[in-house]
A = this chain, B = another copy of it.
Amino acid sequence: MSKPAIPQGTRDYSPEVVRKRRYILDTLKGIFELYGFQPLETPAMENLTTLTGKYGEEGDRLIFKILNNGLHEIKKEADKAKLSAEWEKVLSKAYSSPLVTERALRYDLTIPFARYVVMHQNELAFPFRRYQMQPVWRADRPQKGRYREFWQCDADVVGSTSLINEAELLCIYSQAFTHLGLPVAIKINSRKLLQGLSEICGYPEKMMDITIAMDKLDKIGWSGVATELQNRGIDEAGTSLLQQAIDITGTNDEKLAAYYALMADSPSGKAGVEEIRNSLEYYASLWDGAGNTISVDVDISLARGLNYYTGVIVEVVCTNPQVKMGSIGGGGRYDDLTGLFGLKGLSGVGISFGVDRIYDIMDELRLFPQQVSVSAKVIILNFGGENELYALDVLKQCRAAGVAAEIYPDAAKFDKQMKYANKREVAYVLLPGDEERQTNSVSIKNFITGEQKKMTIADAIDLLNG
């Protein structure tokens, strides 16, 4: 028998980890509900045709495909020959034959959401505000912080072009990270402003080239970006104009005023500045920023990789200097996501939380409240015979009063039971022995102070509930 293992890039979540992850997910869920967003869950398996071609060539390669079932039950020789021919194609290129595989694992939450909206367009009340928290799977090479199964957590609004939606999503970020105790900065930009930049430097068709280069500013500095711009065919005048844009500093208002002046000849660029400005104004009306640790900063170098974004884009980074981690959230407006499935003209805007990275940071900075990882509050020791029945009665009373409690199920040796209680890290142990049973009381031991006291069951329950 080989030693049992789990697939590379996947994880078991042990009890303590489940509890900490739940703390994050429950926090987000509570905030989404407070903001009137509605929960959606889609199946882990999607039709392969729903997914292929939506994530670029690299994405297609990373989709986990499910082998069709019952292949060995196919009887006709002609059908088998057909299957084998298909198999050769599977081997020869990144080709998916519906005869071999017609289902795949969810790759993100955005495409299933778009598919759901199109399928249910006649029942839904628009604007439709939904949140979704589920695992996704990618056949990426596993490495530190990158898994083959990981959770995404998205909130989107479709069917409204109002920038109040952008502001609401910024508020959700602010409220969530404030609640979690994580100091963050939210960067904001607009694809229209990036389009404007490419127009004013004379390369309106090179918006993606320019933004991809500028997005690397943090990593490679301006000289690196300048080289990359050159390689992508931007001339010196254009590069110099971009440097001028990047060099603009000041408050958000000052930066937006300067960008607006720079965009004098670009309607798109001016529209981009306006939509950032209006989003921030709505956000200021809606978010009470007093004393919080969230800053929202206009950042013209922010690009966001996904090319379906068309308006405001945002990204969240942790500002604690101890933390070396990329973005822990991001999103933006897309004008035509459901168009992929035949429903045109429905504008949407959404954000995503990087739950795994948020978990890693919070764990590193010890930000989880201590009670999160606690399970049962008390373990009742089992001294057997009549004392065992008395212990069951005490247990019943604890639970009836809402105290999470368990009994050691076997009348094992005292040391063994105490060792178990210690390993479970409970706050208290109850010791119902002969004397306690005869006086209808319990001895209660505080596992942190080591103090032990005898008291009535009712008093013990008050203490445990306190």
Nearest-neighbour CB distance to chain B for A11, whole angstroms, equals 6
Q: How many copies of this chain?
A: 2
> Is residue A18 within 8 Å, beta carbon to beta carbon, of the partner chain?
yes
Within residues 3 to 53 of chain A, which ones have a CB less than 8 A from any CB in chain B? 3-7, 10-15, 18-19, 22, 33-36, 38-47, 49-50
CB-defined contacts of A295 to chain B, threshold 8 Å: none
Q: Using Cβ atoms and an 8 Å threshold, which residues of chain B touch A335?
A: none
Centre residue among A6, A50, A100 by max chain B CB count within 10 A: A6
Q: Which of A127-135, A258-266, A444-452 contacts B (4 or more CB under 8 A)?
A: A127-135
CB of A406 within 8 A of CB of B36, answer yes
A125: contacting residue among B45, B83, B103, B420, CB under 8 A: B420
Kindly state whether residue A237 has any CB partner on chain B within 8 Å.
no
Residue ID in chain B nearest A18 by CB atoms: B39
Interface majority SS on A: helix, strand, loop or mixed?
Answer: mixed
Contact B36 A125 (CB under 8 A): no
- Residues of B within 8 Å of A115, CB to CB, are 4, 6
A424 at the binding interface (Cβ < 8 Å): yes
Interface residues of A, CB < 8 Å — how many? 112
Known contacts A1-B341, A47-B6, A393-B285: A69-B36 contact under CB 8 Å? no
A72–B91 CB distance below 8 A: yes
A146 at the B interface (CB under 8 A) = no
Chain A residues with CB under 8 Å of chain B are 1-7, 10-15, 18-19, 22, 33-36, 38-47, 49-50, 61-62, 64-67, 69-72, 74, 80, 83-84, 87-88, 90-95, 100-103, 105, 115-116, 118-120, 125-127, 129-130, 135, 137, 139, 148-149, 157, 160-162, 164-165, 168, 282, 285-288, 341-342, 375-376, 379, 382, 388-389, 392-393, 395-396, 399-400, 402-410, 420, 423-424
